[in-house]
Structure 1
Amino acid sequence: MNQDFFKNLKWFTRRLQESGQERRVQSYIVYGGESSQKRSDAHVLPWTRVWEVM
C-alpha cells in the first residue's frame, strides 16, 4: 500500500499532539481489497469489514 495514504493521518496525529490534547488516535484506512493489515501508522481494513470501526 502506498505510503501517501498515511500522510494525512500522520499529519493529523502530530497536530493533536502539538496542541497538548491528551487523546489517543486510532487511524484506519478502508480500501477495496480483501485482507486486513496492521501497519505502524494505521489499521487497514477492507470495505467489507468497515463495521469494525463503527
Structure 2
Amino acid sequence: MFFHIVLGCDDIITTCKELKSKGVKFIEEPSIQEWGMMQALFEDPDGNVFVLVERDD
C-alpha cells in the first residue's frame, strides 16, 4: 500500500526555496494542479514522498 503525507503552507514558492537550500530533493516543482491549488512533491532520504500544498484559506 502507498500513502502520501500532505503538508500545507502559506507560500509554496518561498517554502520550496527554503527547503531546497537545506538539501531537500524535489521530484515535482510547484505547479497549479487541475483542481486549482499549487502543489509540489519532495522526498526524504528513504524515498518517501511528501506533498506540499499551498493553502487557500
TM over 0.5: no
> Higher Cα Rg: structure 1 or 2?
1
Q: Which has the higher strand share?
A: 2
Q: Which has the higher helix share?
A: 1
Report 1 or 2 for greater relative contact order, CA contacts < 8 Å, sequence distance ≥ 6: 2
Structure 2 length-normalised TM:
0.31
